[in-house]
Each structure stands twice: as C-alpha cells, then as structure tokens.
C-alpha cells in the first residue's frame, strides 16, 4: 500500500452563512488542525483570564482530536491544570461505569491521560433520579455561567443535523434557540446510529440529557467536526439551507463569526 500523499493544510477555505469552513484531504489531518485550534483557544483563555472553560463532545468523530491533545500533553506542550470542562450530553439513565456512557468515553479518551482535576471535569449525570433531572439540568447551565461561560464548544453533527442531542423538531426557530439543558427523547436516526455502540436499535437507551441550544450558542467559539459522506447532507443543510429547527445545525448560522467547521472532503461534498 502507498502512503497517502500529505494533504495540503487546509485543502480549501470556504465561507457560508458567517462560518469559516476548513476542508481537509482526510479526517486525520482535519483532527490535527482542530487540535491546533483547540490548543490555541485554551492558551488564549489562559493568557487572558488565567483559566479556560471548554465544552467537550463525544462520539466517533472527535476520537483522533483527543488522541492528538493527549500526544501534545505527553510532549509537555499542553496542560489542563487550569481548565474546567463541561460535556455536551449523556444517555439517561446510564451508569458511569457502563462502557457506553459518555463519562466512560471521556475517561478512556482524555481524562485519564491528562492533568485535568477530576472535580473540574463536569458531565451531565445519567444516575440522577428522574424527579431531580430538571433541577440537575438547570444547575448545569448555572455552573457554566458561574464559571464564566464556555471559551470553546466542540461539536459533532448527527446525520439528522442534531447538535448535542438537540434533535430535529417543528418548533419555531426562536423557541429552539432558547432551549436550555434538559432531558430529551432521541430521534429515530440517532437511535439507528447509536446501535453501532449498543449492538441493536432496540437496545439503545431512548433518552438523553443534552446541553441546550442556548448554552451551546453562547460559547465564545464553536468548532464543528464532520467526516465522511454520510454527514455531507447534514453539513450542506446546516450551512447553505435556511435556519430551521428541522436541522439544528442550521441554528449555528445565528452566531456568525463564532463557528469554524473542520471537514474532510467527503463531508464537504455538498459545498464544493
């Protein structure tokens, strides 16, 4: 097998709907560039305020980004000593020891490899009794605000255009833009995609806690990663379609200047 030719960095630089769009030859190169941006944002926040508050995402897409951050930490280039993190979502209910939980994912891919203080790594809690879930979700939003807000929110996008587990709906846009952190039902496409981890669609936990659209959009910078042809449609509809609650990614158009998309050529197919 030939080693692939090194792809230019970035291959293309586009703009749509007030967002900056970086298109790379492959996902590995895109993740490396996203890790550069992540580290730069962390460094600027440390310089400006002495601390950084980062919104983290899970799923298949950011695995190589986390590997790249861990490598930088091991080389002594990146420290999480003055960082607080807030994760985007979690299945509900779920035990933190369940390998399918996002808490487990974060430990495996990042937390156990870096110097982040355990009490500064925040995740929505899949074990909170249902009677207290609304209070837990509201408290999560208050914690982020009390921490000074998110310097950066990392996002993937679902095939159905979801961000976090803010799923497609028929709500008026203004209502969706104001959605806080809360418990939601997963969309059929999300459940179908999660069957990859759960073994079968009927096994997928049908509800989840998600950071709301409002706290996501309030982040000072937003990095969206999407790779592969199965994301091309959601990416194109988010960037070139009208703002609609049917495609939650399109709501990122409401914060022009904040959003950078890191795409591989396949995910960008509908834009080129």
Residues that bind ligand PGA (CB under 6 A): 59-61, 156-158
Residues 6+ apart with CB under 8 A from 214: 177, 178, 179, 180
Residue 175 among the catalytic residues: no
Which residues sit opposite 122 in a β-bridge? 86
The single residue of 73, 109, 162, 187 carrying the catalytic annotation is 162
Residue 135 among the catalytic residues: no
CA angle 27, 156, 176 (to 5 degrees): 155
Nearest to ligand PGA of 60, 242 (CB atom): 60
Nearest to ligand PGA of 61, 68 (CB atom): 61
Minimum CB separation from ligand PGA for residue 47, in Å?
A: 30
> Helix axis angle, 63-74 relative to 102-109, nearest 10°?
40
Quote the tokens at residue 60: 């298949």
Minimum CB separation from ligand PGA for residue 141, in Å?
A: 20
Nearest to ligand PGA of 225, 255 (CB atom): 225
Nearest to ligand PGA of 29, 61 (CB atom): 61
For residue 25, report the phi and psi dihedrals to the nearest 5 degrees: -65, -30
Minimum CB separation from ligand PGA for residue 22, in Å?
A: 18
Residues 6+ apart with CB under 8 A from 37: 223, 260, 262
Nearest to ligand PGA of 148, 241 (CB atom): 241
CA angle 228, 230, 213 (to 5 degrees): 95
The single residue of 32, 89, 125, 187 carrying the catalytic annotation is 89
Least Cα distance to 58 among 30, 99, 119 occurs for 99
Minimum CB separation from ligand PGA for residue 43, in Å?
A: 26
Cα–Cα distance list, 129 to 66, 92, 138, 188 (Å): 31, 10, 15, 25
Residue 230 among the catalytic residues: no
Minimum CB separation from ligand PGA for residue 164, in Å?
A: 7
Which residue is at the shortest CB distance from ligand PGA? 59
The single residue of 167, 187, 193, 264 carrying the catalytic annotation is 167
Residue 160 among the catalytic residues: yes
Q: Which sequence positions are flagged as catalytic?
A: 89, 160, 162, 167
């Amino acid at each position: 097998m030939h080693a692939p030719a090194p792809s230019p960095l970035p291959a293309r630089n586009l703009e749509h709907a007030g967002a900056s769009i970086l298109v790379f030859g492959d996902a590995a190169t895109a993740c490396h560039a996203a890790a550069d941006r992540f580290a730069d944002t962390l460094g600027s926040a440390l310089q400006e305020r002495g601390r950084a508050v980062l919104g983290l995402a899970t799923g298949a897409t950011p695995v190589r980004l986390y590997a790249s951050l861990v490598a930088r930490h091991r080389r002594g280039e990146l420290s999480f000593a003055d960082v607080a993190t807030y994760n985007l979502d979690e299945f509900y209910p779920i035990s933190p020891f369940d390998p399918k939980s996002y808490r487990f994912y974060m430990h495996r891919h990042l937390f156990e490899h870096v110097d982040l203080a355990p009490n500064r790594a925040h995740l929505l809690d899949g074990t909170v009794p249902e009677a207290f879930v609304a209070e837990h979700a509201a408290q999560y939003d208050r914690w982020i605000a009390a921490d000074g807000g998110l310097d950066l929110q990392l996002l993937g996008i679902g095939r159905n255009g979801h961000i976090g587990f803010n799923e497609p709906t028929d709500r008026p846009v203004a209502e969706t833009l104001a959605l806080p952190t809360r418990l939601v039902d997963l969309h059929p496409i999300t459940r179908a995609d999660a069957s990859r981890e759960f073994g079968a669609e009927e096994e997928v936990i049908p509800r989840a806690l998600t950071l709301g659209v409002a706290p996501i959009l309030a982040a000072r910078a937003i990095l969206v990663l999407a790779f592969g042809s199965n994301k091309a449609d959601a990416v194109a509809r988010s960037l070139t379609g009208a703002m609609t609650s049917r495609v939650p990614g399109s709501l990122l158009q409401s914060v022009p200047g904040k959003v950078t998309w890191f795409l591989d050529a396949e995910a960008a197919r509908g834009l080129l």
